[in-house]
């Protein structure tokens, strides 16, 4: 069975076999690549003290997503918001 979905990153319609898909293949690959870069950038600059840099906690992040959704009339989930921040489509220095 094939499904037609609208990608929340680029807004294009795409056809997929996965009923839960929310991103088109290109955006999915882009998000994967960025996540990979982020992960390995951390390894390259390995410093035990870096691991203790205070970052926004999960409940604070969820609150930021809720605030963004209220202000912009969107319905992004945590994961959708996180990948949009990763791709630079949403500016958030605290993420």
d(CA 88, CA 92): 9
Nearest Cα to Cα of residue 74 among 87, 64, 86 = 64
**Which residue lies nearer to Zn ion by CB, 69 or 80?**
80
**Which residue lies nearer to Zn ion by CB, 11 or 57?**
11
| 56 is a site residue for Zn ion (CB under 5 A) | no
List the Cα angle 39/44/45 in 5-degree steps: 100
Enumerate residues 25-44 that contact Zn ion by CB under 5 A.
27
CB of 27 to Zn ion, least distance (A): 3
| 7 is a site residue for Zn ion (CB under 5 A) | yes
| 24 is a site residue for Zn ion (CB under 5 A) | yes
Residue in the structure block whose two tokens are 């205070």 = 54
CB of 87 to Zn ion, least distance (A): 10
């Amino acid at each position: 069975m094939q499904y037609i979905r609208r990608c929340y990153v680029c807004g294009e319609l795409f056809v997929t076999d996965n009923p839960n898909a929310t991103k088109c293949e290109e955006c999915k690959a882009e998000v994967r690549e960025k996540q990979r870069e982020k992960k390995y950038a951390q390894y390259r600059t390995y410093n035990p003290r870096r691991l203790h840099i205070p970052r926004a906690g999960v409940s604070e992040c969820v609150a930021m997503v809720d605030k963004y959704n209220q202000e912009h009339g969107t319905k992004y989930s945590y994961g959708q918001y996180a990948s949009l921040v990763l791709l630079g489509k949403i500016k958030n220095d605290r993420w």
